[in-house]
Amino acid sequence: MSFIKDFIEKETLNRRNFLLASAFGITGAAAASIVGAGRAHAAGAIEDPTIAWSYRDRTNPYWNSIVSGGESFVESLGKPKSALVHLINEGSSEKSLADVKALLGKTDGKLALAIDANDSPNARPVVEAVVAKGAFVSTIWNKTDDLHPWDFGDNYVSHMSWSDIGPAEQTATILLKAMGGKGAIVGLGGIASNNPAIERRTGLDNALKNFPDVKLLDYQAADWDTQKANSIMSSYLTRFGDEITGVFCANDTMAYGVLEALRAEGLAGQIPVVAYDGNAQAVDLILAGELLATVSTNPHWGGGITAALAYYAATGAFKPSDEPHEHREFNGPTVLITKADAEEFKKKYIDATPTYDWKDFWGPSAGPITY
């Protein structure tokens, strides 16, 4: 049982370090970067790092696309798909961090990690654990505003996010125009504390400012969930009846639930609905005339390029600290899909998976992140 004792001792030390770092406050971050730079693996030191993706779950089409991109990148290196290590956190930040630490131990820091840290505060301990072991990490979506890749030398390679406010404003505008600029809408949002849920709501509010004759009847969180969205939509129909002339959904999976609630009443295709995420089913629904618009964030590319950035920084193909800030924190691409371009989008992105140059790190990106 000595390994348990070792583990507890190690964790106690880690905890002590963490407390010390907190005591240092901001200087703690700087200290960590010095420690990181002093470790064995500088950029280029790792010959064949393990490649891992850490993400939330496998029941969601979005995360499946992310993973498919990661696998496609791994295959571009001549490795089998199974060479990609999956760390699934199931919505738990503690599990996310514990899995990363375990893998760092197993690989002794010879690791290229792509990760969504599940929530913003968890990004810092993950990055610090990776940096302390001299491994390389690229993050997406969740990190706090005071955490920056350039504060950690080369080992925190990059962070990519997507600004959803603009695209959500576009889909909302399409919806409001389809309604002839008058009438009333209901909205269904994601998990209230999620960043994309907040940004997509802001996009809707921005669009509504330009259409003073459209009323927002109610906006409820359906937690990205098809079933919840379904029952909320049918309750909306009772509460507002014929008043509803449009529906705004913060993602595709909720829109499916909304459309089935409308279908049950024979209303599918009669009330315009907009969504977000650009999943295959949503694109089919646009072609069928039941959904008005959705937005793709190209998760396949995002999943591949995030793993590629961490990998090529680890092998030394490029040196992150030589890159400008806009190459270390940047926004991913967003593509608006409406009936006019759905056919083309389907052909290009769904029926055939486009092949990407996984060394073109920033080609499809959409500019630096601004705070």
Partner 1 sequence: MSNLASRGDLQRWAPLLVLVALIVFFTLVNPNFLSLKNFARISISATPPLMVAIGATFIIIMGSIDLSMEGSVAVCAVIFATLFTALGGTLGGWGWVALPACLIVGAICGLVTGTVHVGLRIPSFMASLSMGFVGIGLSLMMTGGDRIRVEDPLFRSLLTQRFLGFPLMVHVAFAVLLAAWFIQRKTTLGRNFYAVGGGEELAHASGLNVRRVRIAGFALAGVFYAFGALFAVAQLGIAETATGYNFMFVSITSIVVGGTALWGGSGGVWNTLVGVLIVNVINNGMIVMGLPRYVQDGVLGLLVIIAVVLSTDRKSLAFVK
Closest CA to 332 of 289, 293, 371, 361: 361
Figure out which of the listed residues 27, 231, 270, 353 binds partner 1, where binding follows CB under 8 A.
231
Which segment (74-82, 133-141, 157-165, 226-234) binds partner 1 by CB under 8 A?
226-234
3-state secondary structure of 136: strand
One of 73, 141, 211, 236 touching partner 1 (CB under 8 A)? 236
226 sits near partner 1 (criterion: CB under 8 A) = yes
Q: Which residue has the tokens 């049950």?
A: 264
**Residues from 45 through 104 that contact partner 1 (CB under 8 A):** 57-61, 63-64
Nearer to partner 1 among residue 56 and residue 133 (C-beta)? 56
Any contact of residue 355 with partner 1 (CB under 8 A)?
Answer: no
> Of 137-196, which residues contact partner 1 (CB under 8 A)?
192
Residue in 236, 278, 270 with CA at minimum distance from that of residue 253: 278
Q: Which of 14, 206, 220, 321 binds partner 1 (CB under 8 A)?
A: 220
* Alpha-carbon span 62 to 300, nearest angstrom: 9
Of 43, 52, 232, 309, the residue at the interface with partner 1 (CB under 8 A) is 232
What is the distance, to the nearest Å, from the Cα of residue 35 to the centroid of all Cα atoms in its chain? 29
The three-state secondary structure class of 296 is strand
Closest approach, Cβ 88 to partner 1, in A, equals 10
- C-beta of residue 112 within 8 angstroms of C-beta of residue 310: yes
Min dist. Cβ of residue 269 to partner 1 (A) = 13
User: Per DSSP, which regions of 171-227 are E strands?
Assistant: 183-189, 214-221
93, 139, 158, 230: residue in contact with partner 1 (rule CB under 8 A): 230
The radius of gyration of the chain's CA atoms, rounded to the nearest angstrom, is: 22
Q: Which of 92, 202, 281, 321 binds partner 1 (CB under 8 A)?
A: 281
Residues 203 and 168: beta-carbon distance below 8 Å: yes
Site string for partner 1, 248-277 (x = CB under 8 A): --------xx--xx-xxxx-----------
231-248 core/surface letters (b: 16 or more CB in 10 A; e: else): ebbbebbeebeeebbbbb
Question: For residue 20, how far is the Cα from the chain centroid?
Answer: 32
Count residues near partner 1 (CB under 8 A): 34
In terms of CB distance, is 243 or 341 closer to partner 1?
Answer: 243
Q: How many CB atoms lie within 10 A of CB 355?
A: 8
Give 155 or 251: the residue with its C-beta nearer to partner 1: 251
Return the DSSP state at 348.
I
- Per CB under 8 A, residues contacting partner 1 are 57-61, 63-64, 192, 218, 220-221, 225-228, 230-232, 234-239, 241, 256-257, 260-261, 263-266, 281
